[in-house]
Amino acid sequence: MLPALDGYVPVGMTQADLPRFRELSTVERADLIGDAPVNCVDYVIPGFDGAEITVSVITRKDHATAGPGIYHIHGGGMVMANRFAGASALVDWAIKFDAVCVSVEYRLAPEHPAPIPVEDCYAGLQWMGANASMLGFAPEQLVIFGGSGGGGLSAGTALIARDRGGPRLMGQLLQCPMIDDRDCTVSSRQFDGVGVWDRTSNNTAWRMILGDRCGTTDVSAYSAPARAAELGGLPPTFIDVGAAEVFRDEAVAYASAIWAAGGDCELHVWGGAFHGFYDIAPASRHAQACVAARESWLERLLRP
């Protein structure tokens, strides 16, 4: 199906292409919620360095008992999309687990380069943790979730929470996470001009996020978590990635580093799958198996 997506997905993206892809990647609230039996309420909260950011809280309409809380960080390479993008799982989990789901509208690069995106995300996590009672979830059941750029920001936010004594996370769910700016893996060079997010687009995004620091030693592990020297003390982790995408090797290396530090990580590498296959081709067997694995891990975490 990739030829049918030509021109609609960011392959070979330059910064000049960004306005068009921002428009294509924006998801409206109504498209996300539809007629699902959930409420979606916005809050304006403090972001990084005195700014204001918005979060949306999705709950089942009959929500009454404190249970899981799921904090979502959207994808889009940290340069595009909005808090409703990739959030369909939140609607499902609000219904299935009676979870309180919060999605954050962090500020995007290049207008807001690192560390602003990840610090906005951490500010949102702090707000969610501090307002567990008002929102109606159990603070000991707080899970962070993100895919692609949102997966990288989720990993970075989890590192900040660990290092600063922030909200304690029960788990982190990282789908095809974007975590390494150095362009040093086989897969980061292997997929160029093909797929849904290729080497050129990845390098373009990282340069917009980090500027001249990209690829140098002057990059924080909070913005590029693959640079983290120590991955001990992280919550149980789920990572999945396509075998035919740029992020394959960095995702595998991150899982290996968590295991080396004595941590708990479940890793899935889906053979033949391109970036974001679970959303783009949801009827495929690959996508169905991927979603089933993700749901199984989450259910085992939340309902041991």
Structural domain containing residue 168: 2-302
Please give the C-alpha separations between residue 94 and each of 58, 60, 164, in angstroms, as whole numbers.
Answer: 7, 5, 29
Instruction: Tell me what pLDDT residue 195 has.
Output: 93
Chain segment 249-288, per-residue pLDDT in tens: 999 999 999 999 999 999 999 999 999 999 999 999 999 9
Instruction: Tell me what pLDDT residue 89 has.
Output: 97
**How many domains does the chain divide into?**
1
Chain segment 185-196, per-residue pLDDT in tens: 999 999 999 999
Average pLDDT over residues 57-65: 97
Chain segment 3-29, per-residue pLDDT in tens: 899 999 999 999 999 999 999 999 999
CATH of residue 68's domain is 3.40.50.1820
Average pLDDT over residues 234-262: 98
Q: Is pLDDT above 90 for 1? A: no
Cis peptide before 110 (omega within 30 of 0): yes
